[in-house]
Amino acid sequence: MTARQTETLTINVGPQHPATHGVLRVLLDLEGEVIVGCRPVIGYLHTGFEKTMEHRTYHQNIVFPARIEYLATFIEECAYVLAVEKLLDVAPPPRAQVARVILMELSRIASHLVWLGTSVLELNVTSGFFYCFQAREPILDLFEMVSGQRMMHGYIRIGGLAWDLPEGFVPRVRQVMEALPRQLDDLEAMLTDNLIWRRRTEGVGVLSAADALRFGCTGPLLRGSGVGYDVRKAFPYSGYEQYAFDVPVGTAGDAFDRYRLRMEEMRQARRIVLQALDRLPSGPWIVDDRKVALPPRPELVRSMEAVIHQFKLVSEGLHPPPGEVYHAVESPRGEKGYYLVSDGSNRPVRVRVRSASFNNLQALPVMLQGHTMADVVVVIATVDPVLGDVDR
Amino acid sequence: MDAGALAARVQAHLGGGQLERVEFRGEVTVIVPADRVLDALEAVRTAPGGPWMLTDLTAVDRHPAEPRFEVVYLLTGLQPPVRLRLKARLPGARPVIASATGLWPGANWLEREVYDLFGIRFEGHPNLTRILLPDDWEGHPLRKDYPLTEEPVQFIGHVPKVPSAIIPTSPPRR
Amino acid sequence: MAVTAIEPAEVREVERRVLTTTVEKMVAWARSGSIWPAQFGLACCAIEMMASAGARFDIARFGSELFRASPRQADLLIVSGRVSQKMAPVLRHIYDQMLEPKWVIAMGDCASCGGVFNNYALVQGVDKIVPVDVYVAGCPPRPEALLYGVLQLREKIAAGGGRR
């Protein structure tokens, strides 16, 4: 009897692929169905954000962050604006802080719903896709109510918000949060005890805590493996230390654990939103510092100084002191940070986006080792990459 | 261990000589010599208060100042949460620095990105190739002497014709 | 039996009850009624494209029941998102793999003209690579805007006889 000959087959997955969560290309080395090697190739969405942001003023740059991580748009905008505010040493007024927390947590819920919708669609639970996107629509309506745009808002400004929250916003948010637990319960009822879902996600994509830390993974990837690092608790910003919320931590580090974790994160996000709604003070929505924020329009009629400030801010932009800062927020994927280097001029010298998905995706080969071809989709889904964030 | 104590630990590990330290907005940055950067990183990695994560590895181009490049390492400790920034300065002519992949495998893609966008080589990196740009791309876009390559927009009756020149650079105030 | 002249009223009656057309128009009507897009979601616009396939906006009621994963089974390429220099050959490859007749919608500002990103990394408008039939502006365009673009394309197909 002759010895069995095997050969390694290299298969290309993507960049145009229905299940890679964006333009991700993965080269898989297969022996039969078993994956023996995996090389992700990225860069298909490289947009040159960092270089472009060096050629715009700090205010003009507010447009860009939402397009980097396009699923959690408010979180990304806040990440950039908080970094600029740290550089300027300017604190937004309390109303703006609380409003930002509400919008960021709503963004987190919306992002996790897209994650769940696309993940289940890839495993052929098509109805789950429709449920998730339908659950997300009221949240996008809230975003539209506040900023005029469903995505890519441009609402968070340096020093606060672009304009005040509209009337009727708070009751609408309460209404949406009222409906959310039932929708999440329905999704969990569909998936958590579902034999097929469990078989496909339990034990798949296991990432040990040591590996996660070595690769710089953060977010659900790190927390699923048992390390409870959440930027909102570790380095609080925007008043997060005042809210009572739990950070779910997994044990097994597999796809099922991360699914449970993200579902719980949505519930905790709702908890934060409800606390923030109760806490929302009245008052100004942007800081009073005329070197940072435009003066209110009625003042332009009365004060020459206001006109000069307006002119300077619009035609030149603000000038932060020379120095560098790093500010991180907790995005649905992990630690999202902005490293700004300023030389005192109206444009940043360097804007570095510390991307959560970039580091998370590095762990993909480790998570896929020894799995079969069918698990590729599950593992990429559980990493939850946003390719705009990976490639910038 | 707080950031100040960490900086002192790095200093001690590097032979005790005075290292330039910057504290700004509550953040501590230590500037280490480029040839001792692995020792400095190891000093932080083995410090108490771990586990220590390499949160970010990036570079800044200070053209036309020399030394031109700064390689920036951002380290985060989890117990208690603390951050430290290490910087190493490199000349513009042949920027080479040791690779941190031996300490953190997560530095792999980060260093490839720095190589791709800045042209800084990392010695000891297992696979230093381009990661974000096509493999046959020429040039390193995030360098200051690489143009943004804007297409002129056909604004009617308005000069300048490129978006980045609409609000020009204005020098630092005061 | 004598053949009597056809009364105008009878002609009108026939026209009212019987649909007459040419084969071309039939084919154009059929093609416009069942345009299946290829899944080519690139960036942010892809999320709005997915939302337009969702239950609220429902592109399926306009005939786009399925987003085909394989371009060989698709009629329409909705380029939703920014096309980087690295992705451009892939886009052209996917477009070439589609079978005639095929149409292209450039969804969003980045696909139409480069959008907010006027720099080294992006192709300033996918019409530099593939011929575009409908441009849908927006950053990102609302799902209704995309649906309007699809409706415009349907009219274009129905008017043009279904051939490119």
DSSP A15-29: SS-TTSSSS-EEEEE
Q: How confident is the model at residue B3 (pLDDT cuts 50, 70, 90)?
A: confident
Domains and CATH numbers, chain B: 3-165 (3.30.460.80)
Residue C127, classed as helix, strand or coil, is helix
Q: Which H, E and C letters describe C90-108, residue by residue?
A: HHHHHHHHCCCCCEEEEEC
Give the integer Cα–Cα distance in Å for B21 and B7: 8
What would the mean pLDDT of C127-141 be, rounded to a whole number? 92
CB distance B171–A391 less than 8 Å?
Answer: no
DSSP β-ladder status, B27-32 and B20-24: antiparallel
Quick one: pLDDT at residue A2? 67
Beta strand segments in chain A, E: 9-13, 25-31, 34-41, 156-157, 160-161, 323-331, 334-342, 350-354
Quick one: pLDDT at residue B112? 94
What would the mean pLDDT of A129-149 be, rounded to a whole number? 93
C118 CA: distance to closest CA in chain A (Å): 8
A195-215 pLDDT, tens digit per residue, is 999 999 998 999 999 999 999
CATH class of the region A48-365: mainly alpha
CB distance C118–B150 less than 8 Å?
Answer: yes
Give the lowest-confidence range in A3-7, A219-223, A365-369.
A3-7
Mutation site, B129, B142, B150, B164, interface C, largest C CB count within 10 A: B150
Beta strand segments in A14-153, E: 25-31, 34-41
Quick one: pLDDT at residue B5? 85
Place of tokens 């931590």: A249
Which H or E run includes A236? none
CB distance C140–A151 less than 8 Å?
Answer: yes
Of C44, C50, C51, the CB nearest to A388: C44
With a cut of 60, say whether residue A168 has pLDDT above it.
yes
With a cut of 60, say whether residue C131 has pLDDT above it.
yes
Of C50, C90, C117, the CB nearest to A47: C117
With a cut of 70, say whether residue C164 has pLDDT above it.
no
- Contacts with A217 from chain B: Cβ below 8 Å: 106
Q: What is the dihedral of CA A100, A102, A103, A105, to 10 degrees?
A: 120
Mutation site, B130, B145, B149, interface C, largest C CB count within 10 A: B149
CB distance A44–C87 less than 8 Å?
Answer: yes
Q: Is A40 on the interface with C (CB under 8 A)?
A: no
Domain ranges of chain C: 23-160
Neighbouring chains to C with at least 3 Cβ pairs closer than 8 Å:
A, B
Neighbouring chains to B with at least 3 Cβ pairs closer than 8 Å:
A, C
Architecture, CATH, for domain C23-160: 3-Layer(aba) Sandwich (3.40)
- Contacts with C119 from chain A: Cβ below 8 Å: 47-48, 51-52
CB distance A324–B29 less than 8 Å?
Answer: yes
Order of strands, sheet of C134-136, starting from the edge strand that comes earlier in the sequence: C37-38, C76-80, C103-107, C134-136
DSSP A74-97: HHHHHHHHHHHHHHHT----HHHH
- Contacts with B65 from chain A: Cβ below 8 Å: none
Give the integer Cα–Cα distance in Å for C67 and A15: 16
Q: Which of A256, A357, A363 is nearest to A45 (CA)?
A: A357
Which H or E run includes C46? helix C44-53
- Contacts with A134 from chain C: Cβ below 8 Å: 54-56
The rounded radius of gyration (Å) of the Cα atoms in chain A is 22
With a cut of 60, say whether residue C1 has pLDDT above it.
no
**A171: cis peptide before it, omega within 30°?**
no
CB distance C119–A48 less than 8 Å?
Answer: yes
- Contacts with C112 from chain B: Cβ below 8 Å: none
C18-62 pLDDT, tens digit per residue, is 776 777 778 888 888 888 998 888 999 999 999 999 899 989 999
Give the integer Cα–Cα distance in Å for C119 and C128: 15
Q: How confident is the model at residue C2 (pLDDT cuts 50, 70, 90)?
A: low
**B80: cis peptide before it, omega within 30°?**
yes
Of A43, A86, A216, the CB nearest to B131: A43
CB distance B151–C124 less than 8 Å?
Answer: yes
* DSSP character at residue C36: P
The rounded radius of gyration (Å) of the Cα atoms in chain C is 20
With a cut of 70, say whether residue C4 has pLDDT above it.
no
Q: Is C140 on the interface with A (CB under 8 A)?
A: yes
Contacts with A297 (C-beta within 8 Å, 6 or more apart), sequence order: none
Give the integer Cα–Cα distance in Å for A199 and A195: 6
Q: What are phi and psi of C153, to 5 degrees?
A: -65, -40
B55-95 pLDDT, tens digit per residue, is 999 999 998 888 899 999 999 998 889 999 999 999 988 89
Give the chain C residue whose CA is nearest to the CA of B132: C86
Q: Residue A28 in contact with residue A38, Cβ under 8 Å?
A: yes
Contacts with B44 (C-beta within 8 Å, 6 or more apart), sequence order: B6, B9, B10, B52, B75, B77, B84, B86
A228-252 pLDDT, tens digit per residue, is 999 999 999 999 999 999 999 999 8
Q: What is the largest CA-CA distance in chain A?
A: 98
**ipTM over cut 0.90:** yes
Beta bridge partners of A35: A30
Q: What are phi and psi of C78, to 5 degrees?
A: -95, 105
If you count them, how many residues does chain B have? 174
Which H or E run includes A251? none
Quick one: pLDDT at residue A6? 77
Contacts with B154 (C-beta within 8 Å, 6 or more apart), sequence order: B161
Q: How confident is the model at residue C163 (pLDDT cuts 50, 70, 90)?
A: low
- Contacts with A152 from chain C: Cβ below 8 Å: 44, 139-140
CB distance C118–B133 less than 8 Å?
Answer: no
What would the mean pLDDT of A375-390 be, rounded to a whole number? 92
Quick one: pLDDT at residue B9? 85
Contacts with A139 (C-beta within 8 Å, 6 or more apart), sequence order: A106, A109, A110, A113, A176
- Contacts with B160 from chain C: Cβ below 8 Å: none
Contacts with A171 (C-beta within 8 Å, 6 or more apart), sequence order: none
B151 CA: distance to closest CA in chain A (Å): 13
- Summary mean pLDDT of chain A: 92
End-to-end alpha-carbon separation of chain C, Å? Answer: 51
Handedness of CA C93, C98, C99, C100 (dihedral sign): negative
Q: What is the dihedral of CA C7, C10, C16, C17, to 10 degrees?
A: -150
CB distance C86–A52 less than 8 Å?
Answer: no
DSSP chain B: --HHHHHHHHHHHTTS---EEEEETTEEEEEE-GGGHHHHHHHHHTSSS--EEEEEEEEEE-TTSSS-EEEEEEEEETTTTEEEEEEEEE-SSS-EEE--TTT-TTHHHHHHHHHHHH--EEET-TT---SSS-TT--S-TTSTTS---PPPP--SS-S--SGGGSS---PPP-
Size of interface A-C (CB pairs under 8 A): 95
Neighbouring chains to A with at least 3 Cβ pairs closer than 8 Å:
B, C
Quick one: pLDDT at residue C25? 79
Give the integer Cα–Cα distance in Å for A147 and A99: 12
With a cut of 90, say whether residue B170 has pLDDT above it.
no
Give the integer Cα–Cα distance in Å for C68 and C40: 9
A65 CA: distance to closest CA in chain B (Å): 17
Domain ranges of chain A: 48-365
- Summary mean pLDDT of chain C: 87
- Summary mean pLDDT of chain B: 89
Give the integer Cα–Cα distance in Å for A340 and A80: 9
Quick one: pLDDT at residue A29? 92
CB distance C48–A151 less than 8 Å?
Answer: yes
CB distance C47–A134 less than 8 Å?
Answer: no
Beta bridge partners of A156: A161
Quick one: pLDDT at residue C20? 66
CB distance A151–C43 less than 8 Å?
Answer: no
Quick one: pLDDT at residue B74? 94
Quick one: pLDDT at residue B148? 87
A25-54 pLDDT, tens digit per residue, is 999 999 888 999 999 999 999 999 999 999
Give the lowest-confidence range in A80-94, A99-113, B144-158.
B144-158
C55-84 pLDDT, tens digit per residue, is 999 899 998 888 888 899 998 999 999 999
Q: Is A71 on the interface with C (CB under 8 A)?
A: yes
Place of tokens 């999704």: A187
The amino acid at residue A194 is N
Of B148, B163, B164, the CB nearest to C120: B148
Q: How confident is the model at residue A326 (pLDDT cuts 50, 70, 90)?
A: very high
Place of tokens 């009751």: A171
With a cut of 70, say whether residue A1 has pLDDT above it.
no
Q: Is B123 on the interface with C (CB under 8 A)?
A: no
CB distance C54–A133 less than 8 Å?
Answer: yes
Of A47, A117, A137, the CB nearest to C84: A47
B106-149 pLDDT, tens digit per residue, is 999 999 999 999 999 999 999 999 999 999 999 999 999 998 88
Q: Is B129 on the interface with A (CB under 8 A)?
A: no
With a cut of 60, say whether residue A3 has pLDDT above it.
yes
- Contacts with A151 from chain C: Cβ below 8 Å: 44, 47-48, 140
CB distance A345–B78 less than 8 Å?
Answer: no
Give the integer Cα–Cα distance in Å for C134 and C65: 20
With a cut of 70, say whether residue C3 has pLDDT above it.
no
Percent of chain A exceeding pLDDT 90 equals 80
Percent of chain C exceeding pLDDT 70 equals 93
Q: Is B146 on the interface with C (CB under 8 A)?
A: yes
Give the integer Cα–Cα distance in Å for B123 and A208: 28
**B67: cis peptide before it, omega within 30°?**
yes
